[in-house]
Structure 1
Amino acid sequence: MLDSLLFQISLIVFLGILSQWLAWRFNIPAIVIMSFAGLLVGPVLHLFDPSESFGAIFNPLISLAVAIILFEGSLSLDFREIRGFRKPIFRIATVGAFVAWILGSLAAHYLAGLSLPVAFVIGGLFIVTGPTVIIPLLRQAKLKERPASILKWEGIVVDPFGALLALFAFNVVLFLDGHSTGTALLAFFAASLFAVILGVGIGFGLGLILERGIIPEYLKSPTVFAFVLIAFAISDAVMHETGLLAVTAMGMIMANMHLSSIRDMRHFKENVSVLLISSVFVMLTASLSLDTLLSILDWHLLLFVLAMMFIVRPLSIFIATINTGIPVNEKILIGWIAPRGIVALTVSGFFATVLVDAGYEDGQLLTALTLALVFATVIVHGFSISWLADKLGLTATKEAGVLLVGGSPFTALLGKELQDLGKPVMIMDRNWQELRDARRVGVPSLAGDVLSEQTEYSVDLTPYEKMIVATPDDAYNALICSSFVPELGRENIYQTTMHMNNPHDYRKSLGGKLLFEATQDIHHLNELVEAGYVLRRTSVTEKYTYEQFMRAKDNTTIPLFVLRSDGALSFFVNGKVRNVEDGDSIISLVSPAIKEARIQERLEQEREKQTTPKD
């Protein structure tokens, strides 16, 4: 069975997605689990070797996957996102990359023992980070907007330039050693320029075609990916490694054309990217030999890795961000986080071969050197990014916040309770007047449409892991919920129940989970709040269980959510909530009569205590 290529492909995809799920379930960096999964089935257990099984198509498959991943990442590079910090990103991608190249090359020569020609080739390659490793880490760490954007932009923009810089250094080395003429250098610059023109031309032309409706909706995603692959293949055929530059230019042009079609395809592209990243990491690590793994334990290589992590990267970032307005804590985080990934692994294999063929025998060390740096940075940076961001005050939030869509007396009351519990909360509404109750009680509010493109680039929604949609428009509620399912997950999206007079039922195909009870739509909830209903907290203990609470409550009490003992929130859906345990608290909407009765009961208990004679 293991000899079956079909089974091996299926196993690779399965292991990749399983790694992603384990990373989500146990809050562990996904790239770490994917790397270990590949090592386990490859060099450790020797179940199969993808490079051997796939044969001649192994490298082309990896290259095409990297092209799609890089294109998908570059589609998120909208210049509106970095309106306030373009300068540091430009400086890091230029000055920072140049400093990292020089220092990294010197470290490879003096610490790893490589010859200067080989050192400058590999030093150029090691300026890359890339979306395959940065995006999963950013998703895990939940950084504040500016450091997250800087790391993302650097990873995507610098990725193709790392391969090009290594290619440039290789051509310069051959020229200086007399192995080639100046024509080869001119050909390099011409091929790079051609890649940019090709990417820009295809991106702009394809964008116009998509917007004019020349391509039917069901063919748009396949057409985009077909053009990505052909742009990469044409450019790479002209000169190896320039294809990455072409697809990056193509993606950035289309991202800044603000195409509605691209926005519609975003979730499909993200799903494809996750699948490819997972599979490629498993394939690459499973293809390694045990000898190659053992060779990275050489102390020269380990010393080089330490220098790259603790000297080269921080120094290049601090030099590049001088007079850019970036605070020290952000410089420290950005200067520490630089995991290398797929591009470094794939491109280093190409340069190891061509350098050895050109007579540089120490080029054979490139694979081991790259592996040492990739594994060290992926593991160390993967496990440290959240901790360091927290220590530096750069985490968006520790608590899982709640975004309430729809201003009303009820959402203001609920938002105030969540705020008092220490949860990040914000109320949004298209109408500024509808937010008057939120402003009155001091709950953060924002006038705007949560579905608008302007909100996407001007409002940081990172702190809010849960969304409650409670506008009077049932169809609008369902549309919002469906739009945010890919970002937040269906289990974190709620909406108030449909209005009793609404003839349409969106529950089977659209919308989020229906909150509270079937009869409690937003109109009724607002009426109750305006009638004086208040929130009451009930503690669940061994003596007073959740079952007792549910039996004892009357018809006027509406349980809203459970505050878990660990601080998590669980909202009642269709009148039910799961696994309420001792130490949890139930927050309910109760009538003022019940509140008054409880107060009167407590007063009588206090009076009895005072009048009871002491022994």
Structure 2
Amino acid sequence: MQVAPYLALVLALAAACQLLAYRAKVPSILLLLVVGFGLGQVVTPEEVLGRDVLFAGVSVSVGIILFEGSLSLRFRDLRGLGTAVVRLCTVVVALAWVLITASGMVAGIGWQLSLLIGALLVVTGPTVIAPIVRQLRPTRRVSSMLRWEGIVVDPIGAVLAVLVFQTVIISGPEVSIGPALVMLGRLLLICTALTLVFGVGLEVAMRRHWIPDFLEGVVFLAVAVGALVVSNQLQAESGLLTVTMLGIYLANRPGLRLDHVREFKEHLQVLIVGALFVMLAGRISPAEVVAVAPIALVFVTLLILVVRPASVWLGLLGTSATREERTLLSFMAPRGIVAAAVTSIFALELEHAAENAVLESRQIDLPPLEALELEANAERLTALVAEASDLVPLVFVTIVVTVAVYGLGVGRLAERLGLATTTPNGILFAGAPVWARQAAGILQGLGVPTLLVSLSPAEVSQARMAGLRVERTHILSEYAVEDMELAGIGSFVAATYDDATNSTAAREFAHTLGSSQTFQLRRQDERRDEEAEEQGSGSRRRSSPESGATATQAKQRTARKLTARLAFRPALSAPELEQRVREGMAVRQTKLTEQHTLDDFLERQPDAVLMFSVEDGHATVVGRTTTVPQSGVTLVALVRPRAEANGGR
């Protein structure tokens, strides 16, 4: 197969798998690995791209992934969690390395390769953590710990693997700590120096507005790749640590706005992750999986049941992490693309080292003693290559099993621990007017979590007196956007009197909840019958007396990309809803049955405002295109008093 068709097929499969996984609410990596494994039986990536190009691309891609993830790591997210996160990235890593090494030896792997596997598999990774967190939506404390561990430990694992590879595998059975320490010091010096050079340069360019907005993402990408390559040239496999440190540095510089960069990198990361998993999985054959299955079964069982729980509980003793949080963290360690990519790279490096050792041992005119040493080293490395043939399939089996176990099982555990929900269905209200408080009270009684956000002391006080969960802050404050607890929240309704605030807040929360689940009240400067106006616009433009009016309306109407979906049916503005409340209307719940259908309800309440449809504790915001069942749900609507609705009878 030619390169272009192969890459097009990989991208198409990656996108399809991730879309299907989102719809089915399963970890996308499982589908990506299965599809990639199947594609690999038809054509392997080496056949199309060549080994050197493939692994160069993998190295750069993994660096981009870690850079994108590290841009989201802010020290302010560690309030009250600093000690726990430091332990996760140091003590827990060390314990996991020791325990994984022991597990490898128990499973029948030699001690040298067990040390290397232990270093490679201490990682979790943003490519597997982020989708699970996005689906699970845990508390901010748990989310922060998982994200910091997943992103920071990845380069630590790569560096640890470099040290093991150079000091244990290449140097031979006589391990020397001195050279390892020198290598580590050199590596840290290079990474720190490059971080400061590239980081300060980007910061100065951003603060002086040398980079236009539309080029920010491209420039940051180019700099990150450049830092990765330069670092790897100066010290093998140090680039991952450099780009991670660079991202953390930039993410925590005060006043440095990186919104365009994060958005660009987020989309790129999703594309790269899908393509990488499909291609790397294609390198594994069924025979390799079958051959490694007995060892993998023992090894992965020890990882899940012994290594992770023991390392987390011992490593987090004495920290602020609660018992529930430690329990959840103990069963949340899926392995991702970094483990797969770095393992493949080191397997290739081991082959190269063995080939070079064989060539050196065949040199002529060598002293007899040196020749014997070189020959023994070549034999040792050749034997390690044969033993390491199971390394890559073993790691891929580990990835599949850990993603399946943790990704499919952690949801129920998190729900039982009260730290997350797999089906977030709560409603977040921006503003707390009378009707919103009434709706929140009814929804809460129906088992739907709600959260009201308001700056008004009167609204906040009345909401608290009603037993409602409320936050006194501006919906666009840094606290509300960055730190407010949204566990269990699935939809957003912007209901303040300020239309601009509603639109901005809806767009902001769409990043977290999705644009399909963010709504705002109708703007006060828009016509209510907007659909009819749009449908008739073509004919009205042909009428000269009205064409000027239509053009004026178009100039005054807010751009669609700056507004969210309109909430409720009919869509009303904040003053109109308030006016109906003053006229005596109130939010009520009505159970729709076959004897009292939606049509029956609308016949009795023709001017009702349909707000929410609730079924089995799941609330759906009613909009213009929402389908409300005739029966079987509870309708929450703004209605007139029953006697008034019946004509006073």
Aligned partners of 1:295 and 1:368 also within 8 Å: no
CA contact (8 A) 2:506 2:563 kept: yes
Aligned to 1:484, the other structure's residue is in SS state helix
Which one of 280, 299, 309 corresponds to residue 304 of structure 1?
Answer: 299
Q: 1:13 to 1:124 in 2, by over 3 A?
A: same
Question: 1:611 — aligned with what?
Answer: none
State how 1:455-470 maps to structure 2 within 5 Å. Answer: 455-470=480-495
Counterpart of 1:570?
A: 620
Segment of structure 1 superposing worse, 299-308 or 338-347: 299-308
Matched with 2:542 is: none
For the Cα contact (< 8 Å) 2:68–2:269, is it kept in 1?
A: yes
Separation (CA, whole Å) in 2 of partners of 1:217 and 1:579: 43
Deviations 1:492-511 (A, max 9, x none): 11111121589742262221
Amino acid at match of 1:439: R
Q: Map residues 80-159 of structure 1 onto 2, 5 A cutoff.
A: 80-114=76-110, 116-159=111-154
Provide the residue aligned with 1:15 in structure 2.
Answer: 13
Q: Is the aligned partner of 1:527 residue 2:607?
A: no
SS of the residue 1:580 aligns to? coil
C-alpha displacement at 1:349, in angstroms? 1.9
Is residue 175–residue 182 contact of structure 1 (8 Å, CA) maintained in 2? no
C-alpha contact 2:139 2:486 (8 A) present in aligned 1 = no
Q: How much does 1:18 deviate?
A: 1.5
Greater shift in the superposed pair: 479-488 or 121-130: 479-488
SS at match of 1:372: helix
8 Å CA contact 2:520–2:565 kept in 1: the answer is yes
Contact 2:67 2:224 in 1 (8 A): yes
In angstroms, what is the RMSD of aligned CA positions? 2.5
Contact 2:288 2:390 in 1 (8 A): no
Change (3 A) 1:121 1:413: same
* Residues 1:366 and 2:391 aligned together: yes
Equivalent of residue 24 in structure 1, options 3, 22, 25: 22
Q: CA deviation at 1:568?
A: 2.7
Equivalent of 2:473 in 448, 454, 459: 448
Q: Which shifted more, 97-106 or 479-488? A: 479-488
Match in the other structure for 2:543: none
> What's the secondary structure of 1:296's corresponding residue?
helix
Mapping of residues 123-522 of structure 1, within 5 Å: 123-173=118-168, 174-175=170-171, 177=173, 186-297=182-293, 299-356=294-351, 357-358=353-354, 359=381, 360-361=384-385, 362-396=387-421, 399-500=424-525, 504-506=556-558, 508-517=560-569, 520-522=572-574
In structure 2, distance between residues paired with 1:393 and 1:196:
40
String of CA shifts for 1:53-107, please: whole Å, max 9, x gaps. 1113111111111111111111111011111111111112111111111121122
TM score, norm. by length of structure 1: 0.90
The residue that corresponds to 1:539 in the other structure is 591
d(CA) in 2 for partners of 1:530, 1:32: 54
Q: 1:138 to 1:597 in 2, by over 3 A?
A: same
Q: Structure 1's 264 and 443: CA in aligned 2 closer, same or farther, altered over 3 A?
A: farther
1:73 lines up with 2:122 in the alignment: no
Could you give the per-residue CA deviations for residues 118-146 of structure 1, whole angstroms, max 9, x where no partner exists?
A: 22122111111111111111112222222
> What residue in structure 1 maps to residue 545 of structure 2?
none
Could you tell me which amino acid in structure 2 is paired with residue 511 of structure 1?
A: T
Q: Distance in 2 between matches of 1:479 and 1:88?
A: 35
- Tell me the distance in 2 between the aligned counterparts of 1:450 and 1:10: 43
Aligned pair 1:592/2:641, yes or no?
Answer: yes
- Amino acid of the residue matched to residue 390 of structure 2? L
* SS class of match (2:617): coil
User: CA contact under 8 A between 1:130 and 1:340: conserved in structure 2?
Assistant: yes
Distance 1:136 1:256, change over 3 A: same
Deviation at 1:531, TM superposition (A): 3.1
Shift of 1:355: 3.4
SS in 2 for 1:563: strand
- Percent of aligned pairs sharing the same letter: 31
Q: Describe the SS at the equivalent of 2:452.
A: strand
Unpaired segments ≥5 residues, structure 1: 602-615
Q: 2:363 maps to which residue?
A: none
> Is this contact kept in 1: 2:425–2:448, CA < 8 A?
yes
In structure 1, distance between residues paired with 2:582 and 2:79 = 43
Shift of the alpha carbon at 1:483? 2.2
Q: Distance in 2 between matches of 1:324 and 1:86?
A: 9
> Separation in 2 of the partners of 1:199 and 1:399?
39
SS in 1 for 2:8: helix
**What is the distance in 1 between the residues matched to 2:571 and 2:198?**
54
Unaligned runs of 5+ in 2: 355-380, 528-552
